[in-house]
Amino acid sequence: MQKYNQNYTMLCDFYELTMGNGYFMSGMKDTVTYFDLFYRTVPDQGGFAIAAGLEQAVDYIRSLRFSGEDIDYLRGRGIFSEGFLDYLRDFRFTGDVWAVPEGTPVFPREPIVTVRAPAIQAQLLETFLLLTINHQSLIATKANRICRAAEGRTVLEFGSRRAQGADAAVLGARAAYIGGCGGTACVLSDQLYGVPAAGTMAHAWVQMFPSQYEAFKAYCEIYPTNAVLLVDTYDTLRRGVPDAIRAFDEVLKPRGITKCGIRLDSGDLAYLTQQARKMLDEAGWTECSITCSNSLDERLISELLRQGACIDSFGVGERLITSRTSPVFDGVYKLVAVEEGGEIVPRIKISENVGKITNPHYKRLYRFYGRETGMAEADYIAVHDEAVDDSHDLVIRDPEATWKQKTMTNFRARELQVPVFKNGELVYKLPSLSEIQAYCRAEVATLWPEVRRFDYPHNYYVDLSDRLLGIKNEMLSAAHGS
């Protein structure tokens, strides 16, 4: 399902190649490794993030090849062995990948993607996996916040012109749709991924005509079933809305069309929409919708609705497509285990910064749902060969305050990661984008309101099994010589 013809194999950090050559020269090219991709902090100090970008990761892994030009370039650097270059010439990914489905709410330090592969192969995936998962998860998370702030009103993604590059615009629109947006202004994202594209007019359309009324009338005549008029080019209440009503009366009403719309892109949106709604209703255009844009985000949308703004839908641009208030998703890709003599041996990264200490070992990630409520109660990370029995009570700890505990009773355990690649072959049926969006909406709804709220969300429980915690503590103690 490759969308672009661009070969992204060389879109990697140079140290992936120097390490790969080093593994080859050290006789470790066939050493099987396990890497986890996870993130450390939730954007915007929120309660959770939305995983996205898996489809592009799949496309990348399936097409991972080194061309003759790539090999020539690497040879020209003068530091890579001919044996390693020959190895790259016939490179194919032969490992295994597990991942949480796109649209899944995820929490810090949970394995979103796990890779089991020979060392060189696993290492070469790092940059692109992080690039695509970090970017799309960031935008999907921001979009989900904005859509929740809109309280059921449609949100359209309007950010292409402010995106940081073409891919950021196209894939950002895709991620925004996963997070809950109803569509995009980006035509290419519709053509490639099926994100519904929509749009009507800019101020230039109004300025091109001798009068605003003539501009509105012409547009209604050309697009009578999609007449959404931008009413703030000159004076919204004195000229814009009255001219729109006149055009609706003269063009749409004789045709029996009652659905239409106006858009505002500036000014005091709470006041202007209240007055516009009153004017439209008094003129009999009760089905005329009001759309607002102009540097919106979840905070501004919430405040507008609190002030009683009469807005039916929102167009959100730069603050969504760049996640302006929290522009970095801090996903990382860390070695957690190697296979030695047929055994899986855990590895750990230790740091004086506690937040950078990793959870070792090849693991499984579970989500616990209350059987009676259907709500997500906690997540649980266990060693890969541990059995999680949801027929018995289970005590779990708060990761930020381990003295805080709660007992899980009458719950259902669901393993979150699914197999994506097995021995280099794709074994996962990629869902449609609409299916991902519906899944995301349903899974976010299983989170308690205290976790979903924007300000000071409840700390969702993500616990390590006793066995995994014991392994981690043993490794920490050994590292400190105690």
What pLDDT is recorded for position 1? 36
Q: Which two tokens stand for residue 328?
A: 């970095």
Q: Which two tokens stand for residue 241?
A: 């809305």
| Confidence at 2, pLDDT banded by 50, 70, 90 | very low
Show the beta-strand stretches assigned E in 342-410: 343-346, 363-370, 376-383, 394-398, 401-408
CB-CB contact of 298 with 314 (8 Å): no
- Comparing C-alpha atoms, which of 445, 417, 383 is closest to residue 48? 445
pLDDT per residue as tens digits for the range 228-274: 999 999 999 999 999 999 999 999 999 999 999 999 999 999 999 99
Burial group, residue 267, by CB count within 10 angstroms (0-12, 13-18, 19+): middle
- Comparing C-alpha atoms, which of 300, 292, 291, 295 is closest to residue 317? 295
pLDDT per residue as tens digits for the range 262-297: 999 999 999 999 999 999 999 999 999 999 998 999
How far apart CA 101 and CA 416 sit, in angstroms, is 8
- Comparing C-alpha atoms, which of 357, 332, 415, 328 is closest to residue 38? 332
Please give the average per-residue pLDDT across 141-156, as a whole number.
98
What pLDDT is recorded for position 7? 75
| Confidence at 6, pLDDT banded by 50, 70, 90 | low
Q: In what order do the strands lie in the sheet with 461-464?
A: 411-415, 363-370, 376-383, 461-464
Ordered by where they begin, the domains of the chain are: 14-139+327-363+414-479 (3.20.140.10), 200-311 (3.20.20.70)
Residue partners of 393: CB distance under 8 A and separation at least 6: 407, 408, 409
CB-CB contact of 330 with 40 (8 Å): yes
Q: Of 340 and 351, which is predicted with more confidence?
A: 340
What pLDDT is recorded for position 401? 65
**pTM for the whole structure:** 0.96
Please give the average per-residue pLDDT across 23-27, as a whole number.
97
How far apart CA 91 and CA 67 sit, in angstroms, is 10
**Secondary structure (DSSP) of 429-479:** -PPPHHHHHHHHHHHHHTS-HHHH-SSS----EEEE-HHHHHHHHHHHHHH
Query: What is the distance between the terminal CA atoms of the chain, rounded to a whole angstrom?
Result: 52
Q: Is the pLDDT of residue 447 over 80?
A: yes
CB-CB contact of 360 with 337 (8 Å): yes
Torsion of CA 373, 378, 384, 386, to 10 degrees: -70
| Confidence at 320, pLDDT banded by 50, 70, 90 | very high
CB-CB contact of 96 with 122 (8 Å): no
In this prediction, what percent of the chain has a pLDDT beyond 90? 93
Q: What is the 3-state secondary structure (H, E, C) of 184-199?
A: ECCHHHHHHHCCCECC
Q: Which two tokens stand for residue 254?
A: 């004789």
Q: In what order do the strands lie in the sheet with 313-316?
A: 183-184, 154-157, 313-316, 288-292, 260-264, 228-230
- From residue 430, give the alpha-carbon distance in Å to each of 57, 59, 420: 11, 11, 9
Please give the average per-residue pLDDT across 136-161, as a whole number.
97
- Comparing C-alpha atoms, which of 439, 457, 433 is closest to residue 176? 433
Please give the average per-residue pLDDT across 56-75, as a whole number.
96
Amino acid at 314: F
| Confidence at 402, pLDDT banded by 50, 70, 90 | low
Q: Of 418 and 403, which is predicted with more confidence?
A: 418
How far apart CA 255 and CA 379 sit, in angstroms, is 56
What is the pairing mode between strands 96-99 and 113-118?
antiparallel
Q: What are phi and psi of 16, to 5 degrees?
A: -65, -40
3-state secondary structure of 273: helix
The 8-class DSSP code of residue 45 comes to G
